[in-house]
Amino acid sequence: MRVAFVDAAIEALDTRDDAVVVLADISTVAFAGVPNRLRDRVINVGIREQALVGVAGGLALAGMVPIVHTYATFLIERAFEQIKLDLSHQDVPAVLVSIGASYDEPAYGRTHHAPGDVALLSTLGDWHIEVPSAAADVRPLLLDAVDRRARTYLRLSAQTAAPSTGGLAVVRRGRDAVVLAVGPLLDRVCAAVDDLDVTVLHVRTVRPLDAAALAAETDRVLAAGSDSAATVVLVEPYLAGTAAAQINDALGHRAHRLFSHGVRQAELHRFGTVADHDRAHGLDTDSLRSAITAQVHRAGCVAHPVDQSQEPAE
């Protein structure tokens, strides 16, 4: 995804006079091949992440659209006050693009882990947040964000899945539950619920969430099932429950029970590998299969066999 981002950012510089890339040492080598005529719009502030966002805010006030890039933990957590004051409070455009995700670089330790970034940025309420599934998602998302001159956060990851079709997409429909997979977790969620008769939704735009589409699919499950309350399972690649409030708001008066899977709050001091973290947080396929099966086949629920002839929803 990082390669796709660099290519798209250079394209934005080439096609828009108001685009500017702001770096804090991270990925500077990747931008070394920028044509000479564009070099003055690639700015490296050094290892000064608060200044990174402050400079971006100044450029935005001057009419530019800054594309701001570094690790998520430095970009969102370390520079949060500057995001709040220099971007949100000033009501200026910016595209924040992070790498590292929750624990893409486990060996670097806690300084490079950012499972709380989306939850933290969501407290501002005025950011468009995108979680791409694959490298193919990155270019259209970045160029669209620059064109809209909106405050947008693109959360890139080394973990990938099938490319997203955008918005909230229906992967398949079932009767027993709604399972919402966020970004790069789609493939493992599909594997985990392969033998369950559930609706699988895939979301890339996590804020604002497509409330109408989620409510409509939940209504389908309520109408088709035998339970008076709908089971909704959320699987996120960051802090568990980050989108819970949005889902509850979207479902309004509908009777539902929500189960959230994501990165758990407990801090892991043995950093291990990405796979180790997935297992520890219950985000590997086997753990998800066990947990979701138990939640869907709860006491009193009549489980339906999967219709193997079912075609994917359009």
DSSP string, 159-202: ---SPP-SSEEEEE--SS-EEEEEGGGHHHHHHHTTTS--EEEE
pLDDT above 50 for 243: yes
Listed in sequence order, the residues at least 6 apart from 54 whose beta carbon sits closer than 8 Å to its beta carbon are 82, 86
Report how far residue 64's alpha carbon sits from residue 212's, in angstroms, rounded to the nearest whole number: 34
pLDDT above 70 for 117: yes
Q: Give pLDDT, residue 142.
A: 97
pLDDT digits over 150-186, tens only? 999 999 999 999 888 888 999 999 999 999 999 999 9
Q: Give pLDDT, residue 271.
A: 83
Cβ atoms within 10 Å of 247's Cβ, excluding its own = 21
pLDDT above 70 for 2: yes
- Going by pLDDT thresholds of 50, 70 and 90, the confidence category of residue 308 is very low
Sheet strands side by side (includes 128-130): 42-44, 19-23, 65-71, 94-99, 151-155, 128-130, 205-207
What percent of the chain has a predicted confidence (pLDDT) above 90?
86
Tokens, residue 204: 């890339």
CATH fold of 168-296: Rossmann fold (3.40.50)
Q: Give pLDDT, residue 313.
A: 45
- Going by pLDDT thresholds of 50, 70 and 90, the confidence category of residue 307 is low
CB 144 within 8 A of CB 165: no
CATH fit for domain 2-155, picks 3.30.365.10, 3.10.520.10, 3.40.50.970, 3.30.260.10: 3.40.50.970
- Going by pLDDT thresholds of 50, 70 and 90, the confidence category of residue 278 is very high
Report how far residue 262's alpha carbon sits from residue 284's, in angstroms, rounded to the nearest whole number: 10
Q: Over the chain, what is the mean pLDDT?
A: 92
For the chain, give every residue range classified as CATH 3.40.50.920.
Answer: 168-296
For the chain, give every residue range classified as CATH 3.40.50.970.
Answer: 2-155
Phi, psi of 207 (to 5 degrees): -150, 115
pLDDT digits over 185-223, tens only? 999 999 999 999 999 999 999 999 999 999 999 999 999
Average pLDDT, integer, range 95-116: 94
Report how far residue 163's alpha carbon sits from residue 186's, in angstroms, rounded to the nearest whole number: 9
pLDDT above 90 for 305: no
224 or 82, greater pLDDT: 82
- Going by pLDDT thresholds of 50, 70 and 90, the confidence category of residue 33 is confident
Report how far residue 283's alpha carbon sits from residue 237's, in angstroms, rounded to the nearest whole number: 8
The separation between CA 59 and the C-alpha centre of its own chain, rounded to angstroms, equals: 26
Residue 201 DSSP class = E
Average pLDDT, integer, range 223-242: 92
Q: Give pLDDT, residue 299.
A: 41
What percent of the chain has a predicted confidence (pLDDT) above 70?
95
Q: Tokens 């990851």 map to which residue?
A: 157
pLDDT digits over 43-62, tens only? 999 999 999 999 999 999 99
